[in-house]
Amino acid sequence: MLADNTNNKRSLINLVIGVVSFALCFLLAGNMVLNVVNTRSLLQDQLYSHAQDSATSLGLSLSTVVDASDDVLAGRMIDAIFDSGDYNRIIFFGTGRRAKVSRKLMNQNAGVPAWFVSLIDLDAPMATAQVMSGWKQLGELVVQSSTGNAYGKLWQTAQNQLIWFSVVLLSALLAMKLLLNRLLAPLRQLEQQAHEVSVRNFDFQIAEPATRELHKVWDAMNEMSESLEQMFAQQLEAIERLREQSLLDPLTGLHNREGFDRRLKAELESHQGVRQGTLILLKINEFEQINQSIGRAQADELLVAFANILKPRLEGSDSGFAARRSGADFSLFLPDLIGDEVEVEASRLLAQLNSLVLVRQSLRDDLIHMGLACVSEAHDVGHLLSKADMALRAAQSNGISGWQRFSELDSDHLQEDVKAANNWHFLLKRAFESKTVSVFRQDVFQLETRAILYQQALARITDGDELLSASIFIPMAKRFKLMSDLDQLVIESTFDHMQGGAEEWSVSISEQSLLNPGFSEWFVRSLAQRPDLASRLIIQVSEHTLKHAESELKQLCDATSVHGVRLVIERFGVSSLPFSYLKRLPVYAIKIDHSFIRNVHRNIENQFFLNAVVQLAGSQGVKVIAVGVESEAECNALTEIGVSGAMGYFLSKPVEA
């Protein structure tokens, strides 16, 4: 809409050229009219003088050589003058007003348009002279000058002036256009700079303009760009500092206990959560004694070393998270860790921890214990933490460093959705190869008006008679490197559903797909084949993905921007990634992770965080969308904060597309 309005606006260069053209045309036309009028007046006077002089001269000649009866000689003398073509008529009247000699010119305005003759309207003057012989009057001579030559001269003068004025006008307009294009070229650069600032690119600079007026605008634009960059950086720093203070442990950089439990609650109890995986509680025994024996500095080094071992396990998952719960207690939640992989991962993690230098120097074999509990369908946060804690105590009771899995989850009562690894691999491969992935949609609403902003595509697969949601099978698809296949199937199905409609749709693209050059090439090619659908498509990428695929995402955005595809960042706020990527990427909207939305009406810290995010995003023209809105109280609180849009079961449940 903005582009259409801009195209309907008049060009400044065209307006200037139009005004100057009108002024030049008016000036030249006026000059031409004045020249023609002055020339006409001069010619009119010349015609009067010419007629009178000719009449006097011819009358005198006739008076000296002609008597009253010699009409032949008079006619010869009159013909000698009349044949020059400068006269309309010459009549010699004898006594009694009898025309003795009469000569008239026909077709006197040959070659001159009739409209020009009628417009100029020259007066053909008549002059008289007496023909005398002594004191005797022989007759009267009447001479009328011809206007043909005068009209011809005026017509030729008008043509020459018109040609000259046209050359001057066209040359002036061409020179003016070239000059204006050169002088106003900085305006186009200023426009580009303003656009770059609007997309948070503050490094774009233009050459210094040559004119004083544009130089002032250039100074103002640069000053505004620097101020916005500083303000944006300050806002980013404030939000990051707020997130760190409220959710992160300052020593290790992991979540603190409150942040971990809040996210775990959202994952287990929200419709947007994964509701599967494994919780690991890790404890360093008698840490107070270790702190006293090796000193606080080295004890802190030990905690940081533990955290550095846990962090790489989270790199491949945007849903996994870890925390330092208290002094020497850690927790780790891995949504893609199920089945036999639990024991393998627990043994690997324990081996890495025991290999730390500070652990080996302690000369103790009972320093580290872990308790593991897998998620079941009926679990809430308290139940799951209780089982993991019981497993941790069981491991501690064994004395030697080790781990223990909650015994109930080793029985046959595992959640049906949590398949064994080989079953999951077979199920996913079969679904992708047979293209039995179903697409559901969930509406994203504008909060104030409840109008639909766009529809989000959600993937579902069938296991027998059971329909599995993406939160269940996507962690397994990530483990088996099948996300590119899944993304491609969902996008193709979304294109099919977009046919014949006007709705905007969003599709999620995984990190695996972004890092796959074949997928990006296929996606760009598919958009080029469907230009009518591409402008209604929104791609969504997890914030966690930017850690490893930001450059690939930037390339994809550059390639798809010509088709009007927009970018949304999902799970905003839960990764440790600095928010400065908002300056580097053309972000259309950010979707706040559901862990910040759950019970937001009762959480002052989350409200404060969301207020800061809304202010930051608003200053950059980025929409803020809340995910996981499941109550009216949450919806009202988000509306009051100023969040742009929202999605969740309170507003709309997923339905088959």
Q: Is residue 388 in a domain?
A: yes
Is there a single domain that holds both residue 361 and residue 469?
no
Q: Is residue 593 in a domain?
A: yes
Residue 179, pLDDT > 60, answer yes
Task: Band the pLDDT of 568: cuts 50, 70, 90.
Answer: very high
| Sign of the four-CA dihedral 160, 161, 167, 168 | positive
Is there a single domain that holds both residue 462 and residue 562?
yes
CATH code, domain carrying 332:
3.30.70.270
Q: Among 111-115, 154-158, 330-334, 627-631, which stretch is predicted with the lowest mean pLDDT?
A: 111-115
Is there a single domain that holds both residue 593 and residue 503?
yes
- Count Cα neighbours of 539 within 13 Å in the Cβ-side half-sphere: 31
Choose one of 130, 149, 170: the last residue of a domain. Answer: 170
Helix spans in 367-418 (H): 381-397
Q: Which residues, 6 or more positions from 331, have their beta carbon under 8 angstroms from its beta carbon?
A: 260, 279, 280, 281, 282, 322, 323, 325, 388
Is there a single domain that holds both residue 514 and residue 558?
yes
* Residue 481, SS3 per DSSP: coil
- Count Cα neighbours of 216 within 13 Å in the Cβ-side half-sphere: 2
Convert the pLDDT of each residue in 98-133 to its tens digit. 777 778 876 566 677 877 777 777 777 787 887 777
Is there a single domain that holds both residue 26 and residue 155?
yes
Helix spans in 315-437 (H): 341-354, 357-361, 381-397, 421-433
**What is residue 580's predicted lDDT score, i.e. its pLDDT?**
79
Is there a single domain that holds both residue 360 and residue 459?
no
* Residue 611, SS3 per DSSP: helix
Residue 591, pLDDT > 70, answer yes
Which one-letter amino acid corresponds to residue 619? S
Burial 443-474 (b: 16+ CB within 10 A, else e): bbbebeeeeebbbbbbbbbebeeeebbbbbbb
Q: Which two tokens stand for residue 248?
A: 């992160």
When pLDDT is averaged across residues 630-645 and rounded to a whole number, the result is 93
Q: Residue 357: which of 403, 311, 301 has the closest Cα?
A: 301
Please give the distance of CA 469 from its chain centroid, rounded to a whole number.
34
Cβ neighbourhood burial of 216 (10 Å; 0-12, 13-18, 19+): exposed
Overall number of domains in the chain: 3
Q: Is residue 429 in a domain?
A: yes
Domain range enclosing 318: 254-410
Q: Which two tokens stand for residue 5?
A: 């309005």
Is there a single domain that holds both residue 392 and residue 317?
yes
Q: Residue 141: which of 66, 56, 73, 82 has the closest Cα?
A: 56
**What is residue 623's predicted lDDT score, i.e. its pLDDT?**
93
Helix spans in 66-122 (H): 71-82, 114-120
Q: Is residue 374 in a domain?
A: yes
DSSP code string of 523-571: HHHHHHH-HHHHTTEEEEEEGGGHHHHHHHHHHHHHHHGGGT-EEEEEE
Is there a single domain that holds both residue 458 and residue 581?
yes
Is there a single domain that holds both residue 445 and residue 401?
no
Convert the pLDDT of each residue in 19-73 to its tens digit. 777 887 888 778 878 887 787 788 777 778 877 887 788 777 777 765 545 677 7
In this structure, what DSSP letter does residue 207 have?
P
Is there a single domain that holds both residue 84 and residue 123?
yes
Strand pairing partners for 67? none
Q: Which two tokens stand for residue 80?
A: 């000698």
Is there a single domain that holds both residue 367 and residue 430?
no
CATH code, domain carrying 452:
3.20.20.450
What is d(CA 76, CA 82) in angstroms, rounded to the nearest whole number? 10
Residues 371, 327: contact at Cβ < 8 Å?
Answer: no
What is the total residue count of the chain?
657
Convert the pLDDT of each residue in 444-481 to its tens digit. 999 989 999 999 999 988 877 778 777 778 877 887 88
Is there a single domain that holds both residue 388 and residue 426?
no
